[in-house]
C-alpha cells in the first residue's frame, strides 16, 4: 500500500473547519482505494503569529519540504490587521511558503457543476458544461520586474514641465516561459488536450518571445492542440463562449485578471480550488480567504477545500482514480440538491440546507 505524507496547514478563520472535512474525505479515500495518508499538522498565518511570533515558523516550512504535498486552508483575520509595517502579517506566511517551495505555476480550475448553473451571472446555455483551467505564471512578468517612481527634474512634461514619472517592466527569461508552458501542456495532456496560450503579441516583445517558445516545445506534446489568443480577446471570449476553453496558459498579470474574471463564471467563491506548483512539493488551497465573518458558525462551504484535495491527488500524487471519485461525489451531492448557505437559493428546501460538517459527511457517504 502506498502511503502519502500530507502537510496540513489549516490556518485561520474557517480554515480549520474546512480542513477537518478534507481530512474526512482523505480517510474515506484511504478506506476505498489501496492508499494511505499520514498527516503532519502545522501552523501558518495568524495562529502561527500568536504561537511563535512568526507567520511561517521554521517547523512548518520543514514539514512542508518533507511532505508529498501541502494542503492549506486560509490565513488572516481582523485580529492581525495592522497598519504598523513592523508587525508580522498572516499573508507573509503564504508569500514565504510559495517562495521557499519555488512555486511558479498557479492552477485555478473553473468547473461549473450542472446543478449550480443557475448560480452563475451568465445565462445557463452559455455556462453549461464549462470546465477550464487557468495556468498562471506566478513568479515573473510584470509583478516582479524593475519598477520605479521618481520626480523628473529634467522636465519631460509638455513645455518642459517637471512632474512625477513611474515605470514597471515586464521581463521574462526563456527558461521561465518554457517551464510554465511545459506545465500547461502536461496539464492539457491530462485533460481534454486543448491549450490556449494567451499573450499580447501584437504589442509586447515578451509576448512575441512567449509565443515562439510555446510553439517550439509544442512538438513534444503531439496530443495537445495549441491555439494562440490575444489577452483582450480572451477576456471577451470567457464571457461569450467559455465552453471553448480547456487549459489557458498566460503571464502573471494577465493570469491574475483572467482568473478572477473566470472565477465568477461558477458564481460562488466557496467552490473554487487552486494549486501552486513548482519542481518539487506543491501546495493546494481554496481560492477564497479565511471568511472571518462566518468563522466558528459551522456554515462554511467545505467544497473548495475538498476540490483542492482532488487537485492534490491528480497533480502531486498521480491518483487519478481517487481524484475522479471526489469529483463524482461532489457532483452527485449537488445534483441531489444539498447546499451550504452560500450556494443555496430560494428553491432549496429547508431539509437540504446543510452546514460544513454535514456537507463533509455527505461527500464521505458518496465515497
Ligand atoms: P474571503 O474570501 O475570506 O470572504 C469573502 C466572502 O465570501 C465573505 O462573505 C465570506 O463569508 C464568503 N466566503 C468565503 N469562503 C467561503 C466559504 N468556503 N463558504 C461560504 N462563504 C465563504 O475574503 P475577505 O473577506 O476579503 O478576506 C478575509 C480574510 O482572508 C482577510 O484577512 C484576507 O487577508 C484573507 N485572505 C486570505 C486568503 C488566503 O488565505 N489564500 C485569500 C484571500 C483573503
- The answer on pLDDT for 161 being more than 90 is no
SS3 332: helix
pLDDT grade, residue 83 (50/70/90)?
A: confident
CA 324 – CA 314 distance, rounded (Å): 8
Look at 342 and 210; give whichever has higher pLDDT: 210
Considering the domain 1-103+273-367, what is its CATH architecture? Answer: 3-Layer(aba) Sandwich (3.40)
pLDDT tens digits, 176-192: 999 999 999 999 998 99
Among protein residues, the one with the nearest Cα to ligand 1's atom 6 is 291
Q: How far apart are CA 340 and CA 361, in angstroms?
A: 13
Residue among 288, 294, 355, 357 whose CB has most ligand 1 atoms within 8 A, to mutate: 288
> In whole numbers, what is the pLDDT of the chain averaged over residues?
95
Confidence class for position 116, pLDDT limits 50, 70, 90: confident
Task: Please choose, from the candidates 185, 190, 179, the residue with its C-alpha nearest in 3D space to the C-alpha of residue 220.
Answer: 185
Q: Is the pTM of this model over 0.85?
A: yes
The stretch 244-271 carries a mean pLDDT of: 91
The span from the CA of 72 to the CA of 59, in Å, is: 15
Ligand 1, CB cutoff 6 Å, lining residues = 14, 74-77, 91, 94, 269-270, 285, 288-294, 300-301, 304, 342
Q: Which band of pLDDT confidence, cut at 50, 70 and 90, is reported for residue 266?
A: confident
% of the chain surpassing 70 pLDDT: 100
Any idea where the domains of the chain sit in the sequence?
A: 1-103+273-367, 121-144+170-266
Second-level CATH architecture of 121-144+170-266: 3-Layer(aba) Sandwich (3.40)
Catalytic residues: 143, 200, 232, 256, 260
Model pLDDT for residues 50-73, shown as the tens digit of each residue:
999 999 999 999 999 999 999 999
Amino acid at each position: 500500500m502506498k502511503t502519502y505524507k500530507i502537510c496540513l496547514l489549516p490556518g485561520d478563520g474557517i480554515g480549520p473547519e474546512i480542513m477537518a472535512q478534507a481530512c474526512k474525505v482523505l480517510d474515506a479515500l484511504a478506506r476505498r482505494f489501496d492508499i494511505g495518508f499520514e498527516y503532519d499538522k502545522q501552523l501558518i498565518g495568524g495562529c502561527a503569529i500568536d504561537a511563535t511570533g512568526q507567520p511561517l515558523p521554521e517547523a512548518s516550512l520543514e514539514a512542508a519540504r518533507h511532505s508529498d504535498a501541502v494542503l492549506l486552508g486560509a490565513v488572516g483575520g481582523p485580529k492581525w490587521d495592522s497598519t504598523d509595517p513592523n508587525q508580522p502579517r498572516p499573508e507573509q506566511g503564504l508569500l514565504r511558503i510559495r517562495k521557499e517551495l519555488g512555486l511558479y505555476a498557479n492552477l485555478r480550475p473553473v468547473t461549473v457543476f450542472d446543478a449550480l448553473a443557475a448560480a452563475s451571472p451568465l445565462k445557463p446555455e452559455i455556462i453549461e458544461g464549462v470546465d477550464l483551467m487557468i495556468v498562471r505564471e506566478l513568479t515573473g512578468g510584470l509583478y516582479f520586474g524593475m519598477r520605479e517612481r521618481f520626480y523628473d527634474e529634467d522636465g519631460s512634461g509638455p513645455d518642459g514641465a517637471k512632474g512625477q514619472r513611474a515605470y514597471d517592466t515586464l521581463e521574462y527569461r526563456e527558461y521561465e516561459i518554457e517551464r510554465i508552458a511545459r506545465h500547461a501542456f502536461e496539464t492539457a495532456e491530462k485533460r481534454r488536450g486543448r491549450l490556449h496560450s494567451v499573450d499580447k503579441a501584437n504589442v509586447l516583445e515578451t509576448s512575441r518571445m512567449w509565443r515562439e517558445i510555446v510553439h517550439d516545445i509544442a512538438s513534444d506534446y503531439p496530443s495537445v492542440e495549441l491555439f494562440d489568443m490575444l489577452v483582450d480577446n480572451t477576456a471577451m471570449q470567457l464571457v461569450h463562449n467559455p465552453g471553448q476553453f480547456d487549459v489557458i496558459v498566460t503571464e502573471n498579470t494577465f493570469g491574475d485578471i483572467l482568473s478572477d474574471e473566470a472565477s465568477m463564471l461558477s458564481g460562488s467563491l466557496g467552490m473554487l480550488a487552486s494549486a501552486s506548483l513548482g519542481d518539487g512539493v506543491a501546495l493546494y488551497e481554496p481560492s477564497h480567504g479565511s471568511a472571518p465573518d462566518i468563522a466558528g458558525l459551522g456554515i462554511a462551504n467545505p467544497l473548495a477545500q475538498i476540490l483542492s484535495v482532488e487537485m492534490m491527488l491528480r497533480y502531486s500524487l498521480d491518483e487519478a482514480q481517487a481524484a475522479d471519485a471526489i469529483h463524482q461525489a461532489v457532483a452527485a451531492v449537488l445534483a441531489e440538491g444539498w447546499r451550504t448557505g452560500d450556494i443555496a437559493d430560494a428553491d432549496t428546501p429547508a431539509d437540504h440546507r446543510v452546514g460544513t460538517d454535514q456537507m463533509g459527511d455527505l461527500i464521505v457517504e458518496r465515497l
